[in-house]
């Protein structure tokens, strides 16, 4: 009797990408490296915002939808953190410090991992491009509506000059 290999479960994850040290180079490079480890399904446009909680250059932010066979913790520890290290990120006590790249899991298998998606325009606006009807767990308001409101309260600018996927 032969055993057939069971197909591996594919997880879906929305990842936030941010950079304010050479972001025009680091965001695309992070996606290229990421694509060697996971399947990239879609990528938002790039958005520019002022830094939150620190001084420094403005951040460029985007969100990507990926599929992976890795559980969330392995995705973070085996894929995302090594990419950050490879691009020169040094983690310090100041989690808002300028950085070459920041890669965070926002949603994993339809479960919100980072609740800041509801309160931060730099996360909500690009994420709403990919999953506009995501309902807030308490108010049931859709992410598109929330992101529109946050964009009116924050300086967030589209950066059509930066193309992440060709």
pLDDT at 166: 63
CB 58 within 8 Å of CB 77: no
Query: pLDDT, tens digit, for every residue of 106-165?
Result: 999 999 999 999 999 999 999 999 999 999 999 999 999 999 999 999 999 999 999 887
* pLDDT of 33 higher than 70: yes
Domain count, the chain: 1
* pLDDT of 94 higher than 70: no
pLDDT at 1: 44
Residue 166 lies in a domain: no
Q: How far apart are CA 51 and CA 63, in angstroms?
A: 17
Residue 142 lies in a domain: yes
Residue 17 lies in a domain: yes
Give the DSSP per-residue string, the chain.
-PPPPPPPPPEEEEEEEEESSSHHHHHHHHHHHHHTTSEEEEE---EEE--SSS-SSPEEEEEEEEEESS-HHHIIIIIIHHHHHHTT----S-TTS--S-EEEEEEETTEES-GGGGT-HHHHHHHHHH-TTPBPTTT--BHHHHHHHHHHHS-EEE-TT--S--
Residue 165 lies in a domain: no
CATH number at residue 61: 3.30.70.560
* pLDDT of 2 higher than 60: no
* pLDDT of 73 higher than 70: yes
pLDDT at 99: 85
The mean pLDDT of 4-31, rounded to a whole number, is: 87
Residue 3 lies in a domain: no
Residue, of 92 and 107, whose pLDDT is higher: 107
**What percent of the chain stands above pLDDT 70?**
90
pLDDT at 96: 66
* pLDDT of 4 higher than 70: no
User: Residue 104 belongs to what domain range?
Assistant: 11-158
Residue 128 lies in a domain: yes
Residue 57 lies in a domain: yes
pLDDT at 124: 98
Residue 137 lies in a domain: yes
């Amino acid at each position: 009797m032969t055993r057939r290999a069971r197909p591996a479960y594919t997880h879906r994850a929305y990842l936030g990408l941010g950079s304010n040290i050479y972001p025009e180079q680091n965001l695309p490079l992070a996606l290229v490296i990421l694509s060697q480890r996971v399947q990239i399904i879609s990528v938002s446009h790039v958005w520019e915002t002022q830094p939150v909680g620190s001084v420094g250059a403005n951040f460029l932010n985007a969100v990507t939808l990926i599929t992976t066979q890795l559980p969330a913790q392995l995705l973070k520890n085996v894929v995302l953190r090594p990419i950050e290290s490879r691009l020169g990120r040094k983690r310090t006590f100041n989690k808002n410090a300028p950085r070459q790249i920041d890669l965070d899991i926002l949603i994993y298998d339809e479960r919100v991992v980072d609740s800041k998606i509801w309160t931060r325009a730099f996360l909500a606006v690009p994420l709403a491009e990919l999953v506009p009807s995501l309902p807030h767990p308490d108010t049931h308001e859709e992410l598109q509506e929330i992101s529109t409101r946050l964009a009116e309260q924050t300086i967030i600018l589209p950066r059509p000059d930066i193309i992440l996927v060709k």
